[in-house]
Amino acid sequence: MDLSSIKPALLLASLMIAATPVIYAAIGELVVERAGVLNLGVEGMMITGAICGFIAAVNTDSPMLGFMAAAVGGALLSLLFALLTQYALANQVASGLALTLFGLGVSSLLGQGYVGIKPPSTPKLDIPVLSDLPGIGTVLSAHDIMIYLGLLLVAAVWAVLKYTRIGLILRAVGENHDAAHALGYKVVRVRVLAIMFGGACAGLGGAYISLVRVPQWTEGMTAGVGWIALALVVFASWRAGRVLLGAWLFGGVTVLQLNLQAAGVAIPVEYLSMSPYLITIVVLVIMSSDKNKAPASLGKIFHASS
């Protein structure tokens, strides 16, 4: 066992990479839940995004087109969920599960010919000022553009929810859909758009795994990250800033256990790799005492009766 091989700065840098898929998926789901919809299909949308992005990137040789395709793929799949829950008024829990099962099937079908291929690599941005900072330069700089975009997205969602009329309406719909309807807001339309935004974000998160983090395609490669993103939204008490915190915590645990594995700690690999899931449970338990912050209409079916 050689713990000295673990370098804090490199650890933090890889933490940023490990956290990014969760950031995308969780911030998307946060918007969906603030609109009052519980979409448990994040895992399915992520894996679909992962394969759509992978296929597009490999065939066009452009990672950016890959990410775009991933967002479209995730959004299209989420549209199925939107149709089921917003128009066919199906139970959201069951529909979300169906979406995950379906997404896993679709992705492995699409991914048939793509096992073992290497995708084009995503270029890294070297931000001059950041990389010169002593100590944390390695942590903050020389990442690919998607990491920075992810952080930007969190900031944008936070600002939109807090300061804009669109954000206000979205929150109103999630808080009390009957009142929002009575005031003339299009509850279903707002929710469908939110669901599709969530799908696109989950797709991006999935593609980040298949194009940057791993990078290759294997079946079921998201391995529960979508579910962890769902847990993170609870952890974050439905607030954008805290999603970031949770994602870094999760990323940190993941990276640390991988490093411990590499360093040859005497615990078998299997036990170490349980840790992200166990930590997620612990975090859920700690946070679940404070769930009054949940949008009041979360998961309820809306049907305008008049």
Partner 1 sequence: MAISNLTKTYPGVVANDSVSMELRAGEVHALLGENGAGKSTLVKMIYGLVKPDSGSMKFQGQSFTPANPHTARQAGVAMVFQHFSLFDAMSVAENIALGMENPPPMRDLSDQIKAVSETYGLPLQPDHIVGDLSAGERQRVEIIRCLLQDPKLLIMDEPTSVLTPQEVGVLFETLRKLTAQGVGILYISHKLDEIRELCQHATVLRRGQNVGSCVPSETSAREMAEMMVGSSFQTPERSRHALGDVVLKIDKLSAPSPNEFGTPLREISLELHAGEILGIGGVAGNGQDELLAALSGEMRTVADAVVFEGEVIGRLAPAARRKMGLLTAPEERLGHAAAPDMSLTENALLTGAERENLTSRGFLKWGAAQKFAQSVIESFDVRTPGTETAARALSGGNLQKFVIGREVLQRPKVLVVNQPTWGVDAAAAAAIRQALLDLATEGVAILCISQDLDELIEISDHFAALNEGRLSDIRETESLNMEQIGLMMGGAHGMEVAHVEA
Partner 2 sequence: MLRLEKRAQPSKQWAALAPVLAVLITMVVGGGLFALLGKNPFEVIRTIFWDPLFGEFAFYYRPQLLIKAGPLILIAIGLSLGFRAGIWNIGAEGQYIIGALCGAGVALTFYPLDAWFLFPMMILAGALGGWAWAMIPALLKVRFGTNEILVSLMLVYVAEKLLAAMALGPMRNPEGHGFPGSRNLQQYESAHNAELFTGSGLHWGGITALLAVICAYILLNRHILGFNIRLLGQAPRAARFAGVNPNRLTVFCLGISGALAGLAGMYEISGPSGQVSIDFNVGYGFTAIIVAFLGRLHPVGILLAGLLMALTYIGGEIAQSNMNLPAAAIQMFQGMMLFFLLAVDLMANYRLRLTRAEVS
Q: What are the residues binding partner 2 (CB under 8 A)? A: 40, 80, 83-84, 88-91, 93-95, 97-98, 101-109, 111-112, 181, 219, 223-224, 227-228, 230-231, 234, 268, 270-271, 273-274, 277-278, 280-281, 284-285, 288-289, 291, 303-306
Query: 225: closest CA among 8, 7, 17, 83?
Result: 17
The only residue of 134, 268, 289, 306 in contact with partner 1, by rule CB under 8 A: 306
Look at residue 171 and give the partner it binds from partner 2, partner 1, none, a contact being a CB closer than 5 to 8 Å depending on partner kind: partner 1
Side-chain-side CA neighbours of residue 247 (13 Å): 30
Q: Could you tell me the smallest distance in angstroms from the CB atom of residue 81 to partner 2?
A: 9
> Exposed (0-12), middle (13-18) or buried (19+): which is 176, by Cβ within 10 Å?
middle
Please give the DSSP secondary-structure letter assigned to residue 38.
-
Q: Which residue number, 171 or 242, has a Cβ lying nearer to partner 1? A: 171
Is residue 237 near partner 1 by the rule CB under 8 A?
Answer: no
User: What does DSSP assign to residue 115?
Assistant: T
Tell me the closest approach of the beta carbon of residue 226 to partner 2, in angstroms.
10
Cα–Cα distance, 116 to 108 (Å, whole number)? 13
Q: Which does 91 bind (CB under 5 to 8 A by kind): partner 1, partner 2, none?
A: partner 2
**Which CB sits closer to partner 2, 148 or 277?**
277
| CB contact at 8 A, 167 and 161 | yes
* Contact of 267 with 3, CB cutoff 8 Å: no
In the bound state with partner 2, the residue whose beta carbon lies nearer, of 9 and 101, is: 101
Token readout for 147 is 């990491």
4 binding partner 1? (CB under 8 A): no
Q: Compute the least distance from the CB of residue 20 to partner 2, in Å.
A: 20
289: contact with partner 1 by CB under 8 A: no
Q: Does 179 bind partner 1 (CB under 8 A)?
A: yes
**Which of partner 2, partner 1, none sits in contact with 128, Cβ below 5 to 8 A by type?**
none
Collapsing DSSP to helix, strand or coil, 278 comes out as helix
CB of 180 to partner 2, least distance (A): 13
Name which of 174, 173, 284, 172 is nearest 234 in CA terms: 284
Nearest to 230 by CA among 17, 81, 27, 35: 27
Which 180-199 positions form the footprint of partner 1 (CB under 8 A)? Answer: 180, 182-185
Q: If contact means CB under 5 to 8 A according to the sort of partner, which of partner 1, partner 2, none does residue 172 touch?
A: partner 1
Phi, psi of 144, deg, nearest 5? -75, 165
* Helix (H), strand (E) at residue 167: helix 165-175
Q: Which does 80 bind (CB under 5 to 8 A by kind): partner 2, partner 1, none?
A: partner 2
Q: How far is the CB of 164 from partner 2 (least distance, A)?
A: 26
Question: Could you say whether residue 37 binds partner 1 (CB under 8 A)?
Answer: no
SS3 content of the chain, % helix, strand, coil (to 5): 70, 0, 25
* C-alpha R_g of the chain: 19
Question: Hey, how many other C-beta atoms are within 10 angstroms of the C-beta on 267?
Answer: 12
What is the chain's length? 306
134 near partner 1 (CB under 8 A): no
Residues in contact with partner 1 by the rule CB under 8 A: 165, 168-169, 171-172, 175-176, 178-180, 182-185, 292, 295-296, 306
